């Protein structure tokens, strides 16, 4: 819970506690840690100045010399060898909740025969859940008589939105996200695999407010290649004061109005001409589809496509804003400094471990089942890079705490695992330092 910023990691722990269980209680380990530190401090007081300097370099990340940065902001830092989580990482063993209903066993065997990885069954199950619930619900709205004062149609429309937003939206967005990074299907034929791999971004995406075929260009190509760097990443949060709601509204409005042109222009500018043509074609098709359906049945179209577009665009942009709300001004191009990780949040079981966003930016094709363990395995490097970690919160929670000025409450969820040692006041000040707009220097001056 809300006590994580204070405890220091146990000295001498070479690996993350979560990889082998907590062992002794947190209180007992904390007492042993404090006793060991008092002994070390007493010994250091009588040591030579040179020995004290070596000790500081060895044990205190704050005292580690900052290595020279290359033009991309990367630093060649050694790991903090005593990095350890003060609490258990429950994400390693949590039950998956991405899908609602699993299909029969015989269908599972048939699905596995045309899948790339058995571990992606939750993605396929969720896909089937949506096909057999959201699509029939949308079809029912168009089948009902088009009467403006029909309470039945209005009620079905509200139930449809509850199904889309309350049950599936978050799940679908992250299913789309990870299946675009790592295609799920390999069969039954090469053409069949291509059709199945495009079913989510082309067919299902509009029912969740996303224009067909745009997600891959926006996220996989642009966002991950440009890495939140303004101006090439049009969804970059760098130019904004990221605790200012008016700045967020500007950010959202730019996405809703300008992304239709910015994304094709980006693809053309980067020489991705096929993606440019695809983006323009998909945008035109989405606009044509919604306007045509509006002329046929405006009520159904509002419930099925327009309201999801407005809500989803807001949710997607607030999600990306929150994921990249803290950016270290000294190293805005470092994956460790431009986002953070969230652990022990129920959202990780709904969103394919999306909380490990630093790990995902470092290795975008790392399988979603390995994100939590990868973080634990590389904890020393994360500590050396002073990477933020929050316990018990998701990205939306972090974003809401920041946007409502509750930085001190947010600091209660900050996890100290071996990175720069900070008091609660210092944590809040570091939050503020990472919220300011980031000026971009010319390449010639870097």
Q: 5-29, pLDDT tens digit by residue? A: 433 333 333 344 443 333 333 343 3
Nearest in space to 5 (alpha carbons), one of 337, 423, 441, 429:
423
CB 58 within 8 A of CB 51: no
Structure tokens at 328: 């270290």
Confidence of residue 444 (pLDDT cuts 50, 70, 90): very low
Which pLDDT score, from 0 to 100, does residue 43 have? 43
- pLDDT of res. 218: 96
Exposure string for 339-374, b = 16+ CB within 10 A, e = fewer: bbbbbbbebbbbbbbbbbbbbbbbebebbbbebbbb
Helices (H) and strands (E) in the chain, counts: 21, 2
| Sequence-separated contacts (24+) of 37-42 with Cβ below 8 Å | 37/8, 37/11, 40/11
pLDDT at 155 over 90: yes
Q: Which residues of 180-218 are buried (b: 16+ CB within 10 A; e: fewer)?
A: bbebbbbeeeeeebeebbbbbbbebbbbbbbbbbbbbbb
Chain-centroid distance of CA 125 in Å reads: 22
Q: Which whole number is the average pLDDT over 108-112?
A: 96
Residue 151 zone, left/alpha/beta (φ > 0; ψ -120 to 50; rest): alpha
Residues 383, 388, 390, 395, Cα dihedral to 10°: -140
Instruction: Give the tens place of pLDDT for each residue, 261-300.
Output: 999 999 999 999 999 999 999 999 999 999 999 999 999 9
Model confidence pLDDT, tens digit, residues 198-212? 999 999 999 999 999
Q: How far is CA 98 from the centre of its chain?
A: 15
Backbone phi, then psi, for 7, in 5-degree steps? -65, 140
Could you tell me which residues are beta bridge partners of residue 84?
none
Mean pLDDT throughout 425-430? 98
Give 111 or 31, the one with higher predicted confidence.
111
Predicted local distance difference test score (pLDDT) of residue 65: 33
Mean pLDDT, rounded, for 123-134: 98
Between 48 and 398, residue with greater pLDDT: 398
**d(C-alpha 414, C-alpha 11), whole Å:** 19
pLDDT band at 77 (very low <50, low <70, confident <90, very high): low
pLDDT, mean over the chain: 86
Q: Which DSSP category does 133 fall into? A: T
Element (H, E) at 262: helix 245-269
Which residue, among 97, 18, 1, has the nearest Cα to 353 in the 3D structure? 97
pTM for this prediction: 0.81
Q: How far apart are CA 289 and CA 329, in angstroms?
A: 43
Band of residue 159 on the pLDDT scale cut at 50, 70, 90: very high
Is the pLDDT at 49 greater than 60, yes or no?
A: no
Burial of residue 400 (number of CB atoms within 10 Å: 0-12, 13-18, 19+): middle
Q: Check whether 119 has a pLDDT greater than 90.
A: yes
End-to-end CA gap in the chain: 42
For residue 391, the 8-state DSSP code is E
DSSP helix, strand, coil percent of the chain (3-state; round to 5): 60, 0, 40
Residue 225 and residue 186 in contact, taking contact as beta carbons nearer than 8 Å: no
Distance CA 92, CA 99 (A): 18
The structural domains of the chain, with segments of one domain joined by +, span 17-93+327-445, 105-323
Asked if residue 175 lies in contact with residue 98, where contact means CB atoms within 8 angstroms, the answer is yes
What's the chain's length in residues? 446
């Amino acid at each position: 819970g809300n006590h994580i910023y204070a405890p220091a990691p146990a000295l001498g722990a070479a690996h993350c506690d979560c990889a082998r269980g907590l062992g002794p209680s947190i209180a007992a380990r904390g007492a042993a840690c404090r006793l060991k530190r008092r002994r070390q401090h007493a010994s250091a007081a009588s040591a030579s100045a040179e020995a004290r300097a070596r000790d500081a370099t060895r044990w205190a990340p704050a005292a580690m010399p900052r290595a020279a940065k290359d033009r991309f902001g990367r630093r060649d830092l050694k790991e903090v060898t005593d990095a350890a989580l003060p609490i258990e990482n429950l994400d390693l063993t949590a039950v998956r909740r991405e899908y609602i209903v699993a299909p029969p066993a015989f269908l599972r065997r048939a699905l596995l025969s045309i899948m790339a990885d058995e571990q992606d069954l939750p993605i396929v199950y969720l896909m089937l859940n949506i096909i057999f619930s959201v699509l029939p619900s949308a079809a029912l709205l168009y089948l009902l008589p088009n009467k403006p004062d029909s309470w039945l149609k209005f009620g079905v429309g509200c139930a449809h939105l509850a199904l889309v937003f309350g049950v599936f939206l978050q799940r679908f967005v992250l299913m789309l996200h990870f299946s675009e990074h790592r295609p799920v299907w390999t069969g039954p034929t090469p053409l069949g695999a291509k059709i199945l791999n495009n079913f989510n971004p082309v067919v299902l995406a509009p029912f969740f407010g996303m224009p067909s075929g745009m997600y891959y260009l926006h996220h996989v190509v642009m966002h991950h290649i440009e890495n939140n760097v303004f101006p090439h990443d049009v969804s970059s949060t760098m130019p904004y004061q990221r605790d200012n709601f008016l700045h967020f509204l500007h950010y959202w409005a730019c996405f809703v109005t300008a992304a239709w042109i910015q994304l094709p222009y980006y693809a053309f500018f980067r020489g991705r001409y096929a993606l440019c043509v695809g983006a323009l074609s998909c945008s035109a098709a989405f606009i044509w589809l919604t306007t045509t359906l509006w002329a046929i049945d405006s009520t159904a179209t509002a419930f099925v496509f327009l309201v999801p577009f407005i809500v989803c665009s807001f949710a997607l942009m607030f999600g990306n804003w929150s994921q990249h709300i803290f950016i270290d001004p000294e190293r805005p191009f470092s994956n460790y400094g431009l986002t953070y990780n969230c652990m022990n949040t129920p959202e990780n079981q709904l969103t394919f471990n999306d909380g490990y966003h630093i790990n995902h930016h470092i290795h975008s094709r790392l399988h979603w089942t390995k994100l939590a363990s990868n973080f634990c395995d590389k904890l020393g490097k994360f500590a050396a890079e002073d990477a933020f970690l929050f316990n018990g919160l998701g990205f939306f929670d972090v974003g809401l705490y920041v946007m409502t000025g509750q930085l001190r409450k947010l600091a209660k969820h900050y996890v100290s695992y071996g990175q720069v040692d900070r008091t609660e006041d210092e944590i809040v000040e570091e939050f503020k330092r990472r919220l300011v707009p980031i000026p971009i220097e010319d390449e010639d001056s870097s």
